[in-house]
Chain A
Amino acid sequence: MAEQIEVLTGNAAAAYAVKLAKAQVIAAYPITPQTTLVERIADFITKGELKAEYIKVESEHSALAACIGASLGGARAFTATSAQGLLLMQEMLFWAAYGRTPMVMAVVTRAIAPPWNMWSEHTDALSQRDSGWIQIFCHNNQEVLDTVIQAYKISEDKRVMLPVMVCFDGFEISHTSENVKVPEQRDVDDFLPSYDNDLIDPEKPKLLWNGVYPDDAFKFKMLFSEAAQKSKDVIDEVHKEFDLRFGRRYSAIEVYGNPDSEIILIAMGSVASSAKAAVDVLNKEGLPIGLIRIRLFRPFPTNELQKAVERAEAIVVLDRSLSFTRGILSTEVAAALYNAKRRPTLFEYITGLGGAVVSHRSIVEAVKHLLPKIREQPKGVLWMKAGG
């Protein structure tokens, strides 16, 4: 297995993955910071490097609707969006998930207006946590490429048949270049079988998605939730198989630094990259701080998280999202730990909204500020000072 090392932005890494996955129908509408991703795909198609139909839609609502049609027609579908575009898709997000149409969407995270702001924040993707999509957050460009390929395998698994969002921060990942190992086509072909869908067959006509009475509706929701539950096993399997084939290990959560630390930071996306650097600095100074990076947000890795914080005194969530007064990641973490045998104290930091810089220095400072107080009762949500 040979891999080519390329210098790629996060958006380019996603586009390469779409090409390697041999997506057959792309439907997308431009929005910053997603644009260079869908432009790169158009470029691949124009040069004949990717054989796919590219539907230039008039809105994101239609982008996702077209992917639903394509997926039903038996084609591997891809779209990408950010912020307002994701919100415009919302109706179709539920349709894709509860309609059980496999597909992959890159969500290049961006703050939701107003005020207009094109920089990263996780509120857009996290606001869709109830839409029925599997949601994976990446923290570097290699992970973006690998995850898009994995996402198709997860999505199309007959036990799952659910759409997958691959989320990564606008600009910090989408427009920043890194060395990325690009796998060979034949290895990806071996890893990812081709997709088809034979639901629409004039020889065996079926009615899809018409009205159902309450009892049937209830059963459908249960079936959906069973598949959502099973998807966790499939995701773990796909992570293992990917590691065996490509030698890169991913898991629902990533534990960084000393797992037995008294204080554990919890973060997602590029915030976790800064947090890793912060942990290195703090550990060097002899402060026992660890980090849990949440990679899988839906289904939420409750068991893994409970286990990983078993010995911690305090956890500090660095949340790049806002739901009224609290961060969305914090409330998920709190919910996941409610039934844990032992619950550490939860400190909540709101950070990096609207693209405000979350540097390792600001995290170090925030942690040091908390250190003397970690045995006290937290006094509400804290807002982390932005800046380098």
Chain B
Amino acid sequence: MVTINELTDDEFLLKGNSSCAGCGATMAIRWVLKILGKNTVLVMPAGCVSVFQGMFPASAFGVPVIDSSFGAQSSISAGLAAAYKVKGKKINIVTLAGDGGTGDIGLHAVSAAAERGDDVLYICYDNEAYMNTGVQRSSLTPYGAKTGTNPEGKMEWKKNLPLIMAAHNITYVATASVGFPFDLMRKVKKAASLSGFRYIHILTPCPPGWGTAENLAAELGRLAVRCGIFPLFEVEKGKLTLHKVSSRLPVSKYFEVQRRFEGLTEEQLKYIQSRVDEELAYLEQLEKITSKVSKAE
């Protein structure tokens, strides 16, 4: 558990960065760094964070940052981790990338790093599209969402990246949402206490990209979980733990405050609701099955 009293007053994501008003990713990264502390290096590819961190010689970070080419973040981190191993240097390596950098252009390298078990904490901030280039679809854009490259709304389901990562049998996988900051920080703290490849997938609502009011990032982060659209779970040593939502809200509650979902038909909403229900049932089954697997061990 993480409580507010134990949080450091030190800031490693500094004021004056040029993120958009109400940016969910900014919230997540600030908390991640508060848990990890000063002895951390960030490796990050092109993405919102690499833009809002500022232009040379300014920096919005109180920790060293290596900006990588788009998709190379995992492999640069792998080299850094290998160098630290041979050199005996002890610095937390955090690979920080968005949904496009992780699930599209960088997936081969992320998968390879996971399979090798590189000693790295990978944080994916998922704002569900290529946001810094002006909102274009990624494989993690949800069904029905409009972006610049699918103005009619995306017709394909969102890629389930956290489960893809879990299938690599890595040390730790978790999903987290900026709607639940203490849950998010607990997971970061847990991941930091482990070694090997650790993956945390954080839903970071993006007010301009999602077409919502600037004060809604945290609320949307909560709604996504409460509607069952973005379930919170952890997979540790193959065992999946699902964080149950006591009284689930209908998915329409999440969609009605976002302009990107404008024009969803009743039929589409029904389809989404039934798929969300199925996916939750699938996770519940996975929880049951994997709990048995752990016991058998």
Cβ contacts under 8 Å, A70 to chain B: 79-80, 82-83
Which residues of chain A from 57 to 89 have any CB-CB distance to chain B below 8 Å in the complex? 57-59, 61-63, 65-75, 77
Determine whether A25 belongs to the interface, using a CB cutoff of 8 Å to chain B. yes
Query: Among the interface residues A57, A59, A65, A73, which one has the most CB atoms of the partner chain B within 10 A?
Result: A73
- From known contacts A57-B75, A210-B59, infer whether A95 and B82 are also in contact, taking CB-CB under 8 Å: no
Question: Would you give the shortest CB distance from B113 to chain A, in whole angstroms?
Answer: 9
Determine whether A92 belongs to the interface, using a CB cutoff of 8 Å to chain B. yes
Q: Is the CB of A205 within 8 A of B89?
A: no
Determine whether B241 belongs to the interface, using a CB cutoff of 8 Å to chain A. no
Q: Is the CB of A202 within 8 A of B38?
A: yes
Interchain CA distance A177-B173 in the complex, whole Å: 50
Tell me which of A47-55, A258-266, A269-277, A358-366 binds B: A47-55
Q: Is the CB of B75 within 8 A of A66?
A: yes
Q: Is the CB of A206 within 8 A of B64?
A: yes
Determine whether B109 belongs to the interface, using a CB cutoff of 8 Å to chain A. yes
- From known contacts A209-B66, A210-B50, infer whether A69 and B76 are also in contact, taking CB-CB under 8 Å: yes
Q: Is the CB of B69 within 8 A of A212?
A: no
Q: B66: which of A63, A91, A208 is its contact (CB, 8 Å)?
A: A208
Q: A68: which of B38, B79, B84, B108 is its contact (CB, 8 Å)?
A: B79
Which residues of chain A from 151 to 207 have any CB-CB distance to chain B below 8 Å in the complex? 196, 199-202, 205-207
Tell me which of B39-47, B121-129, B139-147, B217-225 binds A: B39-47
Cβ contacts under 8 Å, A67 to chain B: 79
Interchain CA distance A376-B81 in the complex, whole Å: 61
Interchain CA distance A72-B79 in the complex, whole Å: 8
Query: Among the interface residues B68, B71, B108, which one has the most CB atoms of the partner chain A within 10 A?
Result: B68
Q: Is the CB of B82 within 8 A of A56?
A: no
Interchain CA distance A213-B77 in the complex, whole Å: 26
Interchain CA distance A244-B176 in the complex, whole Å: 62
Residue of B nearest to A25 (CB): B82
Cβ contacts under 8 Å, B59 to chain A: 205-207, 210
Q: Is the CB of B75 within 8 A of A210?
A: no
Interchain CA distance A72-B87 in the complex, whole Å: 12
Cβ contacts under 8 Å, A59 to chain B: 108-109, 112
Determine whether B65 belongs to the interface, using a CB cutoff of 8 Å to chain A. yes
Q: B116: which of A56, A73, A210 is its contact (CB, 8 Å)?
A: A56
Residue of B nearest to A73 (CB): B83
Determine whether A130 belongs to the interface, using a CB cutoff of 8 Å to chain B. no
**Number of chain B interface residues as a range:** 35 or more
Determine whether A118 belongs to the interface, using a CB cutoff of 8 Å to chain B. no
Determine whether A285 belongs to the interface, using a CB cutoff of 8 Å to chain B. no
Determine whether B67 belongs to the interface, using a CB cutoff of 8 Å to chain A. yes
Residue of B nearest to A95 (CB): B69
Interchain CA distance A207-B13 in the complex, whole Å: 13
Question: Would you give the shortest CB distance from B210 to chain A, in whole angstroms?
Answer: 25
Interchain CA distance A361-B109 in the complex, whole Å: 48
Cβ contacts under 8 Å, A53 to chain B: 82-83, 85-86
Determine whether B22 belongs to the interface, using a CB cutoff of 8 Å to chain A. no
Interchain CA distance A72-B76 in the complex, whole Å: 9
Cβ contacts under 8 Å, B65 to chain A: 205-208, 210
Interchain CA distance A95-B112 in the complex, whole Å: 21
Interchain CA distance A37-B59 in the complex, whole Å: 42
Determine whether A115 belongs to the interface, using a CB cutoff of 8 Å to chain B. no
Residue of A nearest to B84 (CB): A73
Residue of A nearest to B86 (CB): A24
Cβ contacts under 8 Å, A65 to chain B: 68-69, 72, 75-76, 78-79, 109
Residue of A nearest to B73 (CB): A65
Q: B86: which of A69, A75, A202 is its contact (CB, 8 Å)?
A: A75
Cβ contacts under 8 Å, B43 to chain A: 69
- From known contacts A58-B109, A61-B75, infer whether A69 and B85 are also in contact, taking CB-CB under 8 Å: no
Q: Is the CB of B86 within 8 A of A51?
A: yes
Question: Would you give the shortest CB distance from B61 to chain A, in whole angstroms?
Answer: 7
- From known contacts A62-B72, A69-B43, A69-B75, infer whether A205 and B82 are also in contact, taking CB-CB under 8 Å: no
Which residues of chain B from 202 to 256 have any CB-CB distance to chain A below 8 Å in the complex? none
Interchain CA distance A208-B61 in the complex, whole Å: 11
Query: Among the interface residues A68, A205, A206, which one has the most CB atoms of the partner chain B within 10 A?
Result: A205
Residue of B nearest to A216 (CB): B56
- From known contacts A200-B66, A208-B64, infer whether A55 and B79 are also in contact, taking CB-CB under 8 Å: yes
Q: B64: which of A27, A51, A201 is its contact (CB, 8 Å)?
A: A201
Cβ contacts under 8 Å, B39 to chain A: 202
Interface bits B84-117 vs A (CB < 8 Å: 1, else 0)? 1111010100000000000000001101100010
Question: Would you give the shortest CB distance from A102 to chain B, in whole angstroms?
Answer: 12
Question: Would you give the shortest CB distance from B71 to chain A, in whole angstroms?
Answer: 8
Interchain CA distance A67-B24 in the complex, whole Å: 33
Q: A211: which of B55, B64, B87 is its contact (CB, 8 Å)?
A: B55
Cβ contacts under 8 Å, A52 to chain B: 86
Footprint of B on A, CB under 8 Å? 24-25, 27, 51-53, 55-59, 61-63, 65-75, 77, 91-92, 95, 196, 199-202, 205-213, 216
Q: A69-B78, A69-B81, A208-B66 are in contact. List 13 more A-B contacts (CB 8 A).
A: A62-B112, A65-B72, A68-B79, A72-B76, A74-B89, A75-B86, A91-B69, A200-B80, A205-B62, A207-B54, A207-B59, A210-B65, A212-B55
9 CB-based A-B contacts, threshold 8 Å: A24-B86, A66-B75, A69-B78, A77-B79, A92-B69, A205-B59, A208-B64, A209-B68, A211-B55
- 7 A-B pairs closest in CB distance: A73-B83, A69-B79, A65-B75, A75-B83, A62-B75, A66-B79, A70-B79
